[in-house]
Amino acid sequence: MIKTNKQNDIDTLIENLGIELNIDNKTLKPRTNGLLLSDEQIEILKHHNINYQTHSNLNSLIFAIEEYINEVGNYMDVTDIEELSEQLSEQNYYNNTNK
């Protein structure tokens, strides 16, 4: 791919700022159980020992996450999994609510 001067300037700026763009890691992908999850979301779930493969819909997965947060939230940092729960709730709303 031939980069224009503007593209080179943007790439250099991003590199100099130390910004890592990993768009592929954030892309939603269909999983074997029918859920659309990104690799990043799966890594967060794995970190907290939540098996997304046992859930066939987002409601079930969100419920499991919320149960987990309620169980360990008093003695563990659950900021990342709370943010994931919010993301999944929004995703569920926009994908599964009649508008």
Evaluate whether 45 touches 52 at the Cβ level (below 8 Å).
Answer: yes
pLDDT tens, residue order, the chain (99 aa): 445 555 567 667 667 776 666 567 788 999 999 999 999 999 999 999 999 999 999 999 999 999 999 999 888 999 999 999 999 999 999 987 776
**Which tens digit of pLDDT belongs to each residue from 32-60?**
999 999 999 999 999 999 999 999 999 99
Residue 12 lies in a domain: no
d(CA 11, CA 8) in angstroms, rounded, equals: 5
pLDDT at 1: 46
Q: Which amino acid does the sequence have at 16?
A: N
Residue 83 lies in a domain: yes
Residue 79 lies in a domain: yes
56 DSSP 8-state letter: S
Residue 2 lies in a domain: no
Residue 4 lies in a domain: no
pLDDT at 85: 97
Residue 41 lies in a domain: yes
Domain encompassing residue 35: 22-96
Residue 17 lies in a domain: no
Q: How many CB atoms lie within 10 A of CB 58?
A: 20
Residue 40 lies in a domain: yes
What is the total count of domains within the chain? 1
pTM: 0.74
d(CA 29, CA 35) in angstroms, rounded, equals: 8
